Amino acid sequence: MRIEEVRAWVKLLQAREVGNQKAARLIEKLGNPIDFIGKGTMPLAEVDFLPERVITELASPEPPELWEYISRTIEKFDIKLVSVLDDNYPRHLKGIYYTPPILFYIGNMIKEDFNRTLAIVGTRKTSTYGKVQCEILTRDLVRGGFTIISGLAHGIDTLAHRTTLENNGKTYAVMGTPCDQIYPSSNKGLAKQIIREGAIISEFMPGIAINKGFPRRNRIISGISLGSLIIEGSRTSGALITAKNAVDQGRYVFALPGDITREQAEGPNYLIKLGATPVTSADDIFEVFDMTMEKEEQLTVFPQLDVNEDKVYQVLLEHKPEIDIDKLYLESGLSLPVLSSVLLNLDLKGVIKRMPGNRIAPMY
Mean pLDDT, the chain, as a whole number?
88
Q: Where are the domains of the chain?
A: 1-65, 107-288, 307-362
pLDDT in tens, 216-242: 899 999 999 999 999 999 888 888 999
pTM: 0.77
Q: Is pLDDT above 60 for 3?
A: yes
Domains 107-288 and 307-362 share a fold: no
CATH, range 107-288: 3.40.50.450
Q: CATH top-level class for 307-362?
A: mainly alpha
**Short-list 179, 153, 150, CA closest to 164:** 150
Tell me the angle at which helices 307-318 and 325-332 cross, rounded to the nearest 10 degrees. Answer: 120
Q: How far apart are the first and last CA of the chain?
A: 32
| Range of weakest confidence among 61-65, 96-100, 317-321 | 317-321
Q: What is the mean pLDDT of residues 168-172?
A: 96
Least confident of 8-17, 128-137, 173-182, 204-213: 204-213
Read off the pLDDT of residues 268-312 as tens digits, 9 standing for 90 and up: 999 999 999 999 999 999 988 876 544 334 444 567 788 898 889
Residue 23: the pLDDT is 85
Which of the pair, 347 or 100, is modelled with greater confidence? 100
**Which pLDDT value is given to residue 45?**
67
